[in-house]
């Protein structure tokens, strides 16, 4: 390319390149952590399912345990 680019054009291209790199990195990271997030959500769902079966005494124990008493 024989045409010399202006500083603004070079800056725009540089910023777009960095943005594309960061976006690709972000999407790659999201793909890696998605299974972990899914497992965490499964654990929370299982805990909720057990919680609804607790007796009043057990609910009190759970509240005390969560509050650190």
Query: What token pair was written down for 59?
Result: 């609910």
pLDDT per residue as tens digits for the range 49-67:
999 999 999 999 999 999 9
Is the pTM above the cut of 0.85? Answer: no
Cβ neighbour number for residue 62 with a 10 Å cutoff: 14
Cβ neighbour number for residue 3 with a 10 Å cutoff: 6
DSSP 46-64: HHHHHHTT--HHHHHHHHH
pLDDT per residue as tens digits for the range 13-33:
999 999 999 999 999 999 999
Residues 6+ apart with CB under 8 A from 59: 51
């Amino acid at each position: 390319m024989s045409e010399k680019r202006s500083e603004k054009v070079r800056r725009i291209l540089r910023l777009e390149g960095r943005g594309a790199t960061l976006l690709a990195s972000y999407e790659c990271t999201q793909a890696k952590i998605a299974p972990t997030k899914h497992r965490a959500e499964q654990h929370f769902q299982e805990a909720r399912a057990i919680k609804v079966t607790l007796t009043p005494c057990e609910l009190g124990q759970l509240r005390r345990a969560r509050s650190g008493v």
